[in-house]
């Protein structure tokens, strides 16, 4: 008899759709992944008898579903609790309300795989509640597992590597990384190691927006909060009790004078007025043979005052961060065992396909532990 | 009730000792890891009742054990088969005879975690037998799991990343890597991107030997076979039916004229006679702004004639392989999902501590799946 798990998917946008496609094309799996629920905020397809949903037409079926089918987090919990097979909730949203219900799901034995950063980078109390409610694998108690690789660097093996280092007894000394694809692109274009053409910071931001690399409102990238959320997760996994993503220094790339601007269009129109500031930083660094990068750091070294911080840093032209390309992410783990040269992971850290891949890899890992 | 697994350790040298130390200092594990056997080729400590061995004095206890305690692979299989708890065999040797018994262990339900390359890079028949005997997780049959992260790049997340890429449905286009710490050091010193002092190839080899980076007989590194074994493993995981580690082109760094030399000392004494050859390669590359690296490649692209090959390649000064430091390994996965920029993993790929770390991470992953 083959083993199986039930899968409930919340969030059916780009990542959710890529996830469903990848799951359907899984090669040579000996575990059956039965999708029993696909929901978006306004409606849901639910298999009342917990049998697999027909998937050929899920997208149009979901679009045709009535708004009465929408599920509250409480409805979802009540439904999943009665699943006859072990069940994995795949939360492909960035919904904070759903994240707040994770402890309840986990206590009920529902496992979770998710790229939802909100669950792990909001106030420390939620983090603690989630991991207290999750399975500690001590046996008879039926608790859920929670995996969240894609919360940092999408499908890149960042969370799993950090967890392996810590679980096997290594000591984290420092973590340093470029973990925003948008800000990676902007700084890779703005501050290059070679002699290339000098671009204005605002022009690079406009180009990034044009290419679809930024949020519709680029200030959501420029304020550094996305990087701060990811650093909160890395710092907490490293053992630091970080209160929230705003409890440590985060440099915003939004000029102070534009803080009170409301409209995106006005912000963008006025951004070029501040190019002189960024150009001064860039040319000062270049004069020292260095480039600028927007970096997050977790530093557990002795006597460090800001253990977590996010902002612009300078790197030598020969540093791995200096030769980064496109919108790639890179993360360097400095540990006691690895010594002077860090363990480095690099590659695309954003995009629906690689995010869905990280979630699917987590789903497989959970299923191998819980499938029946 | 807490969960537990039994652990049988074969090989008690540098990696074995580092493994036992790390296992004893495991933090906050909710699984009990009971070491029931520690063996080297000539003797063994065995817990007849399958209760945990006292570990404080394992090293002197093992040294004091009589040679009558030595176990054949058959003895070991007979002992492990009767373990009342799920059992993981940790093979910290590079023993081919033991590797040949893996299919038997796996069929009996014994799981395996190992850095032993011989098991996965010998003739294709052994590879096939191992993975046919291993658990496919289809349910009732009691088969063992086999994990071997440390066979390539020690504790670096290389095997696990490749398996995740494939399991989630990505397509491998090309894998390119520097996977010998010794040859990484030699080429990083010999062929640098900057203007630095020019060194003779033989001098760099002598320095590497002096630092303990080479085997006692450096020809075992220079012949490329270690790299070929690792590439065999990566190629097979990528779906290629590689017959053996000598069934594809492997460039040897041993000058042809010295092939018949027997003594290490004579080989080393005569190596400088051939420095002109390597210097010509180096200076030709330098004239093009390139550096030399000793690289293994798996290429699944259309119309490629040698899908696997190992040898010297040239890279631009701005390529990530050019800025490699010390004896670091680096591996680049080019896949359909990751597109133009590869997923890169880099860091120390040799040494007892990081090798043992990779094995321990595997043991934890197996235990989370099989502990009772």
Residue B200 pLDDT > 80 = yes
* pLDDT tens, residue by residue, A198-234: 899 999 999 999 999 999 999 999 999 999 999 999 9
ipTM of this complex prediction, to 2 decimal places: 0.96
Q: Nearest CA to B80 among B98, B99, B45, B105?
A: B105
CATH number of A3-154+353-370: 3.40.50.720
* pLDDT tens, residue by residue, B126-149: 999 999 999 765 444 689 999 999
Q: Which residues of A are catalytic?
A: 230
Interface contact B348, partner A, CB < 8 A: yes
Residue B331 pLDDT > 80 = yes
B12 is in an annotated binding site: yes
Neighbour count for residue A48 (Cβ, 10 Å) = 7
Could you tell me where the DSSP H helices lie in chain B? 14-24, 58-64, 73-81, 96-99, 102-107, 118-121, 124-133, 159-167, 181-190, 201-210, 219-222, 225-237, 264-270, 275-287, 352-370
Interface contact B54, partner A, CB < 8 A: no
Interface contact B10, partner A, CB < 8 A: no
- Minimal CA separation from A118 to chain B, in Å: 25
* pLDDT tens, residue by residue, A256-268: 999 999 999 999 9
pLDDT band at A15 (very low <50, low <70, confident <90, very high): very high
pLDDT at A336: 96
- Answer yes or no: same fold for B3-154+353-370 and B159-349: no
What percentage of chain B has pLDDT greater than the value 90?
89
Phi, psi of B148 (to 5 degrees): -145, 45
How far apart CA B282 and CA B192 sit, in angstroms, is: 9
Tell me which residue in A31, A160, A344 faces B347 most closely, judged by beta carbons. Answer: A344
How far apart CA B23 and CA B31 sit, in angstroms, is: 11
Q: How far apart are the first and last CA of chain B?
A: 10
Residues 298-317 on B with a CB inside 8 Å of A are none
Subunit contact B344:A342, Cβ cutoff 8 A: no
DSSP per position, A193-242:
SSS-----HHHHHHHHHHTT-S-SSTHHHHTSHHHHHHHHHHHHHTT---
Residues 6+ apart with CB under 8 A from B74: B101
Q: A156 to chain B: which residues are within 8 Å by CB?
A: 343
pLDDT at B28: 62
pLDDT band at A28 (very low <50, low <70, confident <90, very high): low
Tell me which residue in B31, B341, B353 faces A137 most closely, judged by beta carbons. Answer: B31
Interface contact B250, partner A, CB < 8 A: no
pLDDT at A106: 96
Q: A166 to chain B: which residues are within 8 Å by CB?
A: 27
Q: A136 to chain B: which residues are within 8 Å by CB?
A: 30
DSSP per position, B45-96:
EE-TTSPPPP-TTHHHHHHHS-GGG---HHHHHHHHHT-SS-EEEEE-S--H
pLDDT at A137: 52
Residue pairs between chains A and B whose CB atoms are closer than 8 Å: 160
Subunit contact A27:B166, Cβ cutoff 8 A: yes
- Minimal CA separation from B331 to chain A, in Å: 10
Q: Where are the domains of chain A?
A: 3-154+353-370, 159-349
Tell me which residue in A29, A157, A342 faces B161 most closely, judged by beta carbons. Answer: A157
How far apart CA B235 and CA B183 sit, in angstroms, is: 20
* pLDDT tens, residue by residue, A287-334: 999 999 999 999 999 889 999 999 999 999 889 999 898 999 999 999
B99-125 b/e (C-beta count within 10 Å ≥ 16 → b): bbbbbbbbbbbbbbbbbbbbbbbbeee
Interface contact A22, partner B, CB < 8 A: yes
pLDDT at B195: 65
- Kindly report the CATH class assigned to A159-349: alpha beta
Tell me which residue in B168, B320, B360 faces A361 most closely, judged by beta carbons. Answer: B168
Q: Please provide the size of chain A in residues.
A: 372
Q: How far apart are the first and last CA of chain A?
A: 10
> Mean per-residue pLDDT for B305-310?
96
* pLDDT tens, residue by residue, A127-158: 999 999 997 655 446 899 999 999 999 999 99
- Chain B residue closest to A145 (CA)? B368
pLDDT band at B29 (very low <50, low <70, confident <90, very high): confident
Interface contact B258, partner A, CB < 8 A: no
């Amino acid at each position: 008899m083959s083993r199986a798990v039930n899968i409930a998917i919340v969030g059916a946008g780009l990542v959710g759709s890529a996830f469903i496609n990848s799951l359907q094309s899984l090669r040579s799996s000996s575990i059956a992944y039965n999708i029993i629920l696909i929901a978006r905020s306004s409606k849901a397809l639910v298999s009342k008898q917990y049998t697999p949903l027909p998937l050929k037409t899920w997208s149009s079926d979901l679009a045709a579903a009535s708004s009465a089918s929408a599920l509250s987090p409480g409805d979802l919990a009540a439904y999943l609790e009665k699943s006859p097979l072990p069940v994995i909730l795949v939360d492909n949203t960035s919904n904070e309300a759903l994240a707040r219900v994770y402890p309840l799901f986990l206590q009920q034995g529902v496992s979770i795989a998710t790229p939802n950063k909100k669950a792990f980078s909001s106030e420390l109390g939620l983090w603690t509640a989630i991991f207290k409610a999750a399975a500690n694998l001590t046996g008879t108690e039926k608790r859920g597992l929670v995996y969240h690789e894609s919360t940092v660097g999408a499908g890149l093996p960042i969370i799993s590597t950090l967890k392996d280092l810590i679980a096997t007894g290594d000591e984290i000394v420092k973590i340093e990384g470029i973990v925003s694809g948008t800000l990676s692109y902007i700084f890779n274009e703005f501050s290059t190691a070679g002699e290339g053409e000098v671009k204005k910071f605002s022009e690079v931001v406009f180009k990034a927006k044009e290419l679809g690399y930024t949020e519709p409102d680029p200030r959501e990238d420029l304020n550094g909060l996305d990087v701060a959320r990811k650093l909160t997760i890395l710092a907490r996994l490293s053992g630091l009790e970080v209160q929230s993503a705003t409890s440590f220094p985060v440099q915003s790339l939004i000029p102070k004078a534009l803080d009170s601007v409301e409209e995106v269009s006005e912000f963008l129109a006025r951004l070029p007025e501040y190019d002189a500031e960024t150009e001064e930083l860039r040319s000062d660094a270049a004069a020292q043979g260095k480039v600028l990068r927007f970096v997050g750091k977790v530093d557990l070294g002795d006597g460090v005052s800001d253990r977590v911080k996010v902002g612009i840093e300078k790197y030598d032209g020969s540093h791995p961060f200096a030769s980064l390309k496109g919108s790639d992410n890179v993360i360097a783990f400095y540990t006691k065992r690895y010594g002077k040269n860090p363990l480095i992971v690099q590659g695309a850290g954003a995009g629906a396909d690689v995010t869905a891949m990280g979630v699917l890899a987590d789903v497989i890992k959970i299923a191998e532990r819980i499938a029946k």
